[in-house]
Amino acid sequence: MTPEEFRNSVLPEGRRLYALAFRYLNSREEAEDAVQEVMMKLWSERNGTGNYSSVAALCTTVTRNCCIDILRRRKRLRIGDLDEAEEFTAADADTGQRHDFSEAARLVSVIVSRMKEPGKSAVILRDIEGYSYEETAEAMGINITALRMLISRARKQIREEMERIYSHGTGKDKGTAR
């Protein structure tokens, strides 16, 4: 890949890659660092990009892997975020604002940030970033059937965690009728 091809095909992906990195890392600085690291890696390996059918899929894969590496280096759980989300939903339940969309989205974001791989990546790419099943499967290096199973399990995990948090906030037991 020539410098001109790199400028025209890889550099325009920067904003999208930043958004993806931010979804994984929940930190502006770390997302910026990740994208910079990804761009340097893509530049250094620019001649080996023939294995991917699209530059966007390659960029997504490298960004995803870079973010996973950063998360592994952190070696810390973000339990405080979930505890804060539980407290907020409990307070909202008392004031009748429990169904506020923006807070539900924030809670889902916290739950997804704590999920394990590869379900976390599947949900971020497919449900949050809006990639097609084909694009997501290619970026993750798996077949579509495996991807559908991952997404199904991840969505179930999110639903169960939401139910647990909301029932905890309202005093209901998990199995009670609504």
Q: What is the pLDDT of residues 130-178, one digit of tens each?
A: 788 888 888 888 898 998 899 889 988 988 888 887 776 544 444 444 3
User: CATH 1.10.10.10 residue ranges in the chain?
Assistant: 79-170
Say what the pLDDT of residue 63 is: 92
Measuring CA to CA, which residue among 127, 128, 129, 120 is closest to residue 150? 120
For the stretch 14-41, pLDDT in tens is 999 999 999 888 888 889 989 999 998 8
CATH assignment, 3-74: 1.10.1740
Residue 52 carries which DSSP code? S
Relative orientation angle of helices 79-95 and 101-114, to the nearest 10 degrees: 160
Least-confidence region, from 4-8, 119-123, 171-175:
171-175
Model pTM?
A: 0.51
**Structure confidence by residue, pLDDT tens digits, 81-102:** 444 444 544 444 444 444 556 6
Topology (CATH level 3) of domain 79-170: Arc Repressor Mutant, subunit A (1.10.10)
Alpha-carbon distance 19 to 42, whole Å? Answer: 18
**Can you tell me the distance from the alpha carbon of 23 to that of 125, in angstroms, rounded to the nearest whole number?**
10
The tokens of 30 are what?
């770390």
Task: Specify the domain boundaries for CATH 1.10.1740 within the chain.
Answer: 3-74
Residue 73 has pLDDT above 60, yes or no: yes
| pLDDT computed for residue 82 by the predictor | 43
Give the residue with greater pLDDT, 78 vs 49.
Answer: 49
**Which pLDDT does position 50 carry in this prediction?**
61
d(CA 39, CA 63) in angstroms, rounded, equals: 9
